[in-house]
Amino acid sequence: MTVATGSDTPRRGVRLGVDVGTVRVGVAVSDPEGILATPVVTLARDEAADRDIDELVAMVADRDVVEVAVGLPKMLRGADGVAAHAARRYATALAARIAPVPVVLVDERLTSVQANRIFDDRKVSTKARRAVVDQLAAVTILQVRLDALRSTGQARG
């Protein structure tokens, strides 16, 4: 997998955030200046035929994406569990298809919990939130990446 670090990190351009689940994949996109992440779509996860990865590959090309941030759901104590291993495999498969666009892993502990709390606060039904909770988690993943790049001065517009 291509991982952007230091001078390899693209400075400006559209980035994607990806929240990988067992059933759905949430996708978010940034503005070219790297300021704000917004939700795009929730894809059905397709481990057999990789249609979800096909759709991400198309988005990377269509939007001229400079980097993809995939959420890494570590356990609270920081270790990799089953979900983190699955996210690493997904990121590796995606990176192979979109090279030389870098794929970075972003610690996403509690992003889905945060997304669900937002819906709980607004009393959104479980059925209504199902379609967008993964997008909101992807927004959180991408915003964490954007904020980190801005704080280090690497994502100047």
6-149: CATH homologous superfamily? YqgF/RNase H-like domain (3.30.420.140)
Residues in the chain: 157
Helix or strand run (H / E) with residue 27 = strand 24-30
Q: Which two tokens stand for residue 109?
A: 């502990």
pLDDT score for 7:
47
82 CB-side CA count, 13 A: 2
Distance CA 154, CA 134 (A): 27
Q: What is the pLDDT of residue 120?
A: 73
For residues 16 and 91, the answer to whether their CB atoms sit within 8 Å is no
- Position of tokens 């503005």? 31
The structure's pTM equals: 0.85
End-to-end CA distance of the chain: 26
**H or E stretch including 111?**
helix 111-121
Ordered by start, the domain boundaries in the chain are 6-149
Give pLDDT tens digits along the chain (157 positions).
Answer: 545 444 466 678 999 999 999 999 999 999 999 999 999 999 999 989 999 999 999 999 999 999 999 999 987 677 778 999 999 999 999 999 999 999 999 998 766 666 667 777 777 777 766 778 889 899 999 999 999 998 887 654 4
- What does the alpha-carbon distance between residue 109 and residue 126 come to, in Å, rounded to a whole number? 21
Q: Which residues pair with 104 in a beta bridge?
A: 69
Contact 11, 64 (CB under 8 A): no
Residues in CB range of 52: below 8 A, 6 or more apart = 25, 43, 44, 45, 46
pLDDT at position 8: 60
- Which pLDDT value is given to residue 132? 82
